[in-house]
Chain A
Amino acid sequence: MNPGLEIQMVAVIVAAACALPGIFLVLRRMALLSDAISHSVLLGIVLGYMVTRDLASPWLVAAATAAGVATAALTELLRRTRLVHNDAAIGLVFPALFSVAVILISRSVGNVHLDTDAVLMGEMAFAPFNRLSIAGFDAGPVAVWVMGGILLINAAVMALLYKELKITSFDPALAAALGLSPTLVQGVLMTLVSVTAVGAFDAVGSILVVAFMIVPAATALLLAERLRAMIAWSLGIAVASAVAGYHVAVALDANIAGAIAMTLGAVFAVALVLSPRHGVVSVAVRRWRQRRLFMLQMLTIHLLHHETGDEAGRECAEQTLDQHLGWSPEQVRVAVRRALRDGLVRREGPLLVLTDAGRARAGEVLEGLTV
Chain B
Amino acid sequence: MTAENRVIPALQVEDLTVAYRDKPVLWDVDVSVPPGVLMAVVGPNGAGKTTLIKACLGLVRPAAGRVLIHGRPVEAQRRNIAYVPQRGSVDWDFPTTVLDVVTMGRYGALGWFRRPGAAERERARQCLEMVGMLGYERRQISQLSGGQQQRVFLARALVQDADLFFMDEPFQGVDATTERAIVALLQDLRASGRTVICVHHDLQTVPEYFDWVSLVNVRLVASGPVNEVFTPNHLRTTYGGRLPFLSQRADPKERAR
Contact = CB atoms under 8 A, between A and B. Distances in A.
Contacts of B101: 170
A27 B94 contact: yes
Contacts of B160: 178
15 contacts: A163-B115, A166-B96, A167-B107, A169-B94, A170-B101, A170-B104, A171-B85, A171-B104, A174-B83, A176-B59, A177-B78, A177-B81, A179-B108, A224-B95, A225-B95
A369 interface: no
Interface of B: 54, 57-59, 75, 78, 81, 83, 85, 89-91, 94-97, 100-101, 104, 107-108, 110-116, 140, 156, 160, 175
Given A167-B104, A371-B175, A227 B96 contact: yes
Interface string A108-141: 0000000000000000000000000000000000
Interface in A145-171: 160-164, 166-167, 169-171
Contact of A160 (B85, B94, B113): B113
Contacts of A161: 113
A226 B97 CA distance: 7
A139 B77 CA distance: 54
Given A170-B104, A171-B85, A174-B83, A221 B78 contact: no
A180 B109 CA distance: 10
Given A160-B113, A175-B107, 9 more contacts: A163-B110, A170-B94, A170-B96, A173-B85, A176-B58, A177-B58, A178-B108, A225-B140, A227-B100
Contacts of B100: 166, 226-227
Contact of B107 (A163, A169, A173): A163
A170 B112 contact: no
Contacts of A171: 85, 89-90, 104
Contacts, number: 76
Interface in A199-234: 221, 224-227, 229-230
B89 A173 contact: yes
B59 A173 contact: yes
Interface string A343-371: 00000000000000000000000000001
Nearest to A223: B95
Given A163-B116, A226-B95, A226-B96, A180 B108 contact: yes
Contacts of A175: 107
A286 to B, nearest CB: 13
Contacts of A166: 96, 100, 104
A255 B21 CA distance: 51
Nearest to B156: A174
B97 A162 contact: no
A113 B57 CA distance: 53
A225 B140 CA distance: 6
Contacts of A225: 95, 97, 140
Which residue, A164, A178, A221, A371, has most C-beta atoms of chain B within 10 A?
A: A178
A222 B108 CA distance: 30
Contacts of A221: 95
B131 to A, nearest CB: 17
Nearest to B91: A170
A160 B113 CA distance: 6
A287 to B, nearest CB: 17
A177 B105 CA distance: 10
Nearest to B116: A163
Contacts of A162: 115
A27 B81 CA distance: 27
Contacts of A173: 54, 59, 83, 85, 89
A151 B74 CA distance: 39
B96 A180 contact: no
Contact of B95 (A174, A229, A371): A229
A229 B107 CA distance: 21
A162 B83 CA distance: 22
A371 B91 CA distance: 27
Nearest to A226: B95
A230 B175 CA distance: 33
A319 to B, nearest CB: 41
Contacts of A179: 75, 78, 108, 111
Contacts of A163: 107, 110, 114-116
